[in-house]
Amino acid sequence: MKVRIGIVGCGVVGTGTVKLLLENAHIIKKKTGIDILLTKVADKDWERPREIEVPLNLRTYDYMDVINESDIVVELVGGKTFAKSLILEALERGKHVVTANKRLLAEDGFEIFKKAKEKGLYIGFEASVGGGIPIVKALREGLVANRINTIYGILNGTTNYILTRMLEDHMDFSHALELAQKLGYAEADPSLDIDGWDSAHKICILSMIAFGRYVPFEDVYVEGIRDLDLLDVELGKELGYTLKLLAISKRTDGEIEVRVHPTFIRSEDALAKVSDVYNAIMIEGDFVGKTMFYGKGAGSYPTASSVVSDIVDIAKKVLFCSKDHDEFQWENQPIGIGKNFYSRYYIRFDVPDKPGVLAGVSRVLADYNISIASVLQKEKVCKLARREGEATVPLVILTHKAYEKNMQRAIEDIKKLPIIVGQPVIIRVEEEAY
Amino acid sequence: MKVRIGIVGCGVVGTGTVKLLLENAHIIKKKTGIDILLTKVADKDWERPREIEVPLNLRTYDYMDVINESDIVVELVGGKTFAKSLILEALERGKHVVTANKRLLAEDGFEIFKKAKEKGLYIGFEASVGGGIPIVKALREGLVANRINTIYGILNGTTNYILTRMLEDHMDFSHALELAQKLGYAEADPSLDIDGWDSAHKICILSMIAFGRYVPFEDVYVEGIRDLDLLDVELGKELGYTLKLLAISKRTDGEIEVRVHPTFIRSEDALAKVSDVYNAIMIEGDFVGKTMFYGKGAGSYPTASSVVSDIVDIAKKVLFCSKDHDEFQWENQPIGIGKNFYSRYYIRFDVPDKPGVLAGVSRVLADYNISIASVLQKEKVCKLARREGEATVPLVILTHKAYEKNMQRAIEDIKKLPIIVGQPVIIRVEEEAY
């Protein structure tokens, strides 16, 4: 049984996908009986060096050749404008689509999935989240019997690499970023990664699958790691916490929380041990309990592995199934996204090293019903963190669970206290990431 | 779209499955459009206490009621004799089957899958390996594009719990086993778990999926943890290794290795951090690289989650698909299973504390081309391990990679040396379990 595949965009992932299909098509046929026939690969530049030579007869400059000569169109150009019109055009012409374009699906998925549904066509997007980790399939099919309550994800390898260097090698953010760029883990313009957008796109997609509702991307709370101070990474370590850029999706009463921000998790928890460029997603369902999926979250080959698993899944349906039976379905009505998070907080203030400071701060916290779990001894902090020529010392407070709104108000009041120097640092703490 | 489900065997997993279907059927319908209708549950004893009351109208004592009134028969009785005849009878009568029976599939899977194929019926067995972890689906579908090279599994929660207690709490084997039994993690007769059979059944099933060949269970090398000495767990820890009962399946040239035995893995590796009753499976594919799947490997609810995901998968095919398209397929011709493993070794000898001992032992190892990587200093070992009234001290040797046959021969020769007291301890070391 033959299926014709065409690829638009022969960059890193596109080249990896071509390589995989050339090398493993026979293995896939043996496993599934499906014959994947790569018909055309479109790119605007066939001169640039690639890991493998794409056979001349497959090359084209015209994406319409790909659409015309394939049953499944693989979109690997990335970005939004052209990728979107390409996908809509492919659907318009009755072609199924496989894409790794997390940004497009998170921001404009509604329109694309709606169009696919109208046409009775499939959109495969395993490669959009977690690189080679089959997380979309696990969430949609493997855990289908569960009511999903929580998703914790380390979904961006670049930021996880930077945070690992900060934690393990005491590098500050800018040096860790430089190193990541030197190693090719970070783009020249790293903002999509380090400002949390990439993680946000991915958790938005996972949330739509988990909760079966349209999740408006603009409502996702996003905070990156650009302004992180090494001092907080190390003070947190002292307290038994590891700092991660965590993507969080939680079912709360009636609504959900979808957020990405630097988060302290307990250093003994499984997610805390996910280091360097690795990704991991922890899912908690009402029957399965906690499961974790771990692997390389990016890269040419792992992503190609996911692209081709989508191709095979769609091919099976096209070849053997009478009708659409599990197209990604959600209620169009957007789900309410809560903003008043309820979590523990790590707060650091720079304060003069004199009495009365803690009293003032804790009074304000008390006014907002925020109770203090622990305070990091100033003496201890000093040794570790007093910096050259600084007249102040850090005061670190770990709170019990509190509401975001109260915390924000409390911080505003505390900043008005004469004893506080500069901006307080606030980092949320999650204790269930094991 | 309705599918009728019947369950035979209402023990722990059966009851969990009934509970799941009663509580989450509406969620599953919303996600997939499939209406799972539980028609009958058969058990020989409806008096014994269960976590939930099975509705009277669902109960029966006669498994034939289940077969007659369902499209998919869920076998949860366990064991071999009755379970096998039940499954064959269900297939004979044109019913699809879902089972959690790893032992039956590993030992008699050939006959069962053959019968299902003849009849064009499906066998779902996600629940047979890794409890709630959707590992069968990940291996068959999510990683379908890969040539699978290695599988490392911690597949038995009971033994992993015992080993965790030994490592972390310095408990010896028998006390750790007692504790596991007290907590309900180990059976009164624990041999299926602690002697490695349960892990062997599971790795056998995973190997058949990964390599697409019939893997004769009797050829799987199985060694349990019953005779483990706490001393070796702690000496290994000293050397930076964590002892796990590892299930290993490897592609070697032309054949495969399938084995279960106590194994030292590097303490910093991801698998080493899988503790207590948790399971984890690490799969290495040629494109995806290393991925790991982690979760509760047993228990009523997680296993029910897998049972129902199989029900949904089969229901989709039955309701929407024209023909069998991915029934578990393998080449009937059994795959050759290698016995001459090639790995590093940890060897401990009890020797008198006098000169010349190491010289004698290392000479024999050299005769068999086994080179020594490191020797644990006796002084160091003494402090840690000299026991009351013992005239001997342990001598620990870590070798570089060597062939199993050479190692066995070398040990036989070494045992003949007058300096060696008692039985040498041999534990294999795997360094790629990250």
* Interface contact A302, partner B, CB < 8 A: yes
Q: How confident is the model at residue B324 (pLDDT cuts 50, 70, 90)?
A: low
Contacts of B260 (CB under 8 A, 6+ apart): B196, B199, B200, B203, B220, B221, B222, B223, B224, B245, B246, B247, B248
| Residue in A137, A294, A299 closest to B294 by CB | A294
Q: Which pLDDT tens digit goes with each residue over A257-314?
A: 999 999 999 998 889 999 999 999 999 999 999 999 999 988 999 999 999 999 999 9
What are the strands, taking DSSP E only, across B145-240? 148-154, 221-222
Question: Looking at beta carbons, which residues of chain B come within 8 Å of A302?
Answer: 287-289
Query: Under an 8 A CB cutoff, do A288 and B132 touch?
Result: yes
Report CA torsion sign: A327, A328, A334, A335.
Answer: positive
Query: Under an 8 A CB cutoff, do B32 and A325 touch?
Result: yes
b/e map of A411-432 (b: 16 or more CB within 10 Å)?
Answer: beebeeeebbeeebbbbbbbee
Report CA torsion sign: A198, A203, A208, A213.
Answer: negative
Is CATH 3.30.70.260 what the domain over B342-429 is classified as, yes or no?
yes
The pLDDT tens digits along chain A (434 residues) read: 899 999 999 999 999 999 999 999 999 999 999 999 999 999 999 999 999 999 999 999 999 999 999 999 999 999 999 999 999 999 999 999 999 999 999 999 999 999 998 999 999 999 999 999 999 999 999 999 999 999 999 999 999 999 999 999 999 999 999 999 999 999 889 999 999 999 999 999 999 999 988 899 999 999 999 999 999 999 999 999 999 999 999 998 778 999 999 999 999 888 999 999 999 999 999 999 999 999 998 899 999 999 999 999 999 988 888 765 555 566 767 777 888 899 999 999 988 877 788 889 999 999 999 999 999 865 555 455 555 556 788 899 999 999 999 999 999 999 998 888 888 999 999 987 76
Query: Under an 8 A CB cutoff, do B291 and A293 touch?
Result: yes
Q: Across-strand partners of A402?
A: A343
Question: Looking at beta carbons, which residues of chain A come within 8 Å of B302?
Answer: 287-289
- The C-alpha of B432 sits at a distance from chain A's nearest C-alpha, in angstroms, of 14
Query: Under an 8 A CB cutoff, do A301 and B289 touch?
Result: yes
Which two tokens mark B431?
A: 């360094």
Q: Rg of chain B over CA atoms, in angstroms? A: 24
What residues of B form the annotated binding site for L-homoserine? Answer: 187
Name the percent of chain B lying above pLDDT 70: 94
**CA A218/CA B212 separation, integer angstroms:** 46
ipTM of the complex, rounded to two decimals: 0.93
**Average pLDDT in chain B:** 92
Q: Are A145 and B308 in contact (CB under 8 A)?
A: yes
CB interface of B with A, residues 49-68, below 8 Å: none
Query: Under an 8 A CB cutoff, do B287 and A305 touch?
Result: yes
**CA B67/CA A401 separation, integer angstroms:** 52
| Residue in A33, A292, A305 closest to B146 by CB | A305
Q: How confident is the model at residue B430 (pLDDT cuts 50, 70, 90)?
A: very high
Return the amino acid letter for A301.
Y
Supply the CATH classification number for the domain B143-296. Answer: 3.30.360.10
Beta-strand relationship, B402-403 and B342-352: antiparallel
Which two tokens mark A406?
A: 């109260």
Question: Looking at beta carbons, which residues of chain B come within 8 Å of A330?
Answer: none
Distance of CA B331 to the CA centre of its chain: 23
Of the listed ranges A104-113, A251-260, B58-67, B190-199, the least confidently predicted one is A251-260
Phi, psi of B304 (to 5 degrees): -60, -35
pLDDT of residue A432: 79
pLDDT of residue A254: 76
In chain A, where are the structural domains located?
Answer: 2-131+300-319, 143-296, 342-429
- Range B230-255 average pLDDT: 94
Which two tokens mark B350?
A: 């009890």
More confident residue, B392 or A398: A398
CB pairs under 8 A between A and B: 199
| pLDDT above 60: residue B274 | yes
* Interface contact B406, partner A, CB < 8 A: no
Q: How confident is the model at residue B203 (pLDDT cuts 50, 70, 90)?
A: very high
| pLDDT above 70: residue B378 | no
| Residue in B32, B143, B299 closest to A144 by CB | B32
Supply the CATH classification number for the domain A2-131+300-319. Answer: 3.40.50.720
Alpha helices in A95-172 (DSSP H): 102-119, 135-137, 157-169
Q: Which pLDDT tens digit goes with each residue over A139-193?
A: 999 999 999 999 999 999 999 999 999 999 999 999 999 999 999 999 889 999 9
Q: Are A280 and A157 in contact (CB under 8 A)?
A: no
| pLDDT above 90: residue B321 | no
b/e map of A42-63 (b: 16 or more CB within 10 Å)?
Answer: bbeeeeeebeeebeeebebeeb
**CA A390/CA A190 separation, integer angstroms:** 31
Helix (H) and strand (E) counts for chain A? 14, 17
pLDDT of residue A330: 66
Please say if B378 is a catalytic residue. no
pLDDT of residue B69: 97
pLDDT of residue A387: 57
* Interface contact B295, partner A, CB < 8 A: yes
Q: How confident is the model at residue B213 (pLDDT cuts 50, 70, 90)?
A: confident
- The C-alpha of B97 sits at a distance from chain A's nearest C-alpha, in angstroms, of 17
